[in-house]
Amino acid sequence: MNFKIRAATEEDCKEIWRMLTELAIYLKVTDKVTITHEELKRDGFSENPFFECLVAEVPEEHKSEEGYTVVGYALYFYTYSTCSGRTIYLQDLFVMQEFRGKGIGKGLLSKVAEEKNIFFPQLGQKKKCEQLLLCGYAWNTPTQQFYAAKGAEDVDSEGSQYMCFKRQSLDNLANEAPKD
């Protein structure tokens, strides 16, 4: 199938949000999605963006049953590992159901990791990142198999455990910070 991958723009935020909600339905976490497309626009396309995003787009003649041409996205950001150094964290990789198995997911993942890319010099190896991290649901076998087939390693066996302070806990922790 013919498709192209490009850097997302502000105008893509409604499409990204649409697919983000489709992903939440698939993962059975719709109650956890509180972000809006306006917040995506603010957080990804401001002077100091919190994330970067790629979208996969098909030609008009291959649009989805609902009429969409933007059919996938990869949302990621940079972080740092004191063990490995510069790191890309892939938050979301999503391709609409009817476009899966056509190389779009692999294309998005490869673009994030790409070593030499004159069109997206801010990506992956251009930033000299040492690793790409992601987190997935243990029950989501197709996704685990997809990443494993591309060379991802399961680091749970290394003793890693992801933890999260959510809104109220984060507020409580911040309120306990020493005062100047």
Give the β-pairing of 52-57 and 4-7. antiparallel
146-170 per-residue burial string, b: 16 or more CB within 10 A, e: under 16: bbeeeebeeeeeeeeeeeeeeeeee
Nearest in space to 86 (alpha carbons), one of 133, 152, 131, 50: 131
pTM score above 0.75: yes
pLDDT 10s digit of each residue in the chain, 180 long?
899 999 999 999 999 999 999 999 999 999 999 999 999 999 999 999 999 999 999 999 999 999 999 999 999 999 988 988 888 899 999 999 999 999 999 999 999 987 433 344 455 556 678 888 888 888 899 999 998 898 888 887 666 777 778 888 889 989 999 888
With contact defined as beta carbons under 8 Å apart, do 49 and 43 qualify? yes
CA 22 to chain centre: 14
pLDDT digits (tens, 9 = 90+) for 20-38: 999 999 999 999 999 999 9
At 104, list the tokens: 């779009």
89 is catalytic: no
What order do you get walking across the sheet with 52-57 strand by strand?
4-7, 52-57, 70-81, 85-95, 131-134
- Structural domains in the chain, CATH included, are 4-175 (3.40.630.30)
In the set 68, 80, 137, 147, the catalytic residue is 147
- Provide, for the chain, the percentages of residues in helix, strand and coil under a 3-state DSSP scheme, each rounded to the nearest 5: 40, 20, 40
- Which of these, 34, 74, 28, 83, lies nearest to 53 by C-alpha position? 74
Q: Where are the beta strands (DSSP E) in 30-120?
A: 52-57, 70-81, 85-95
On whether the CB atoms of residues 20 and 30 are closer than 8 A, the answer is no
Q: Hey, what are 15's tokens?
A: 């499409």
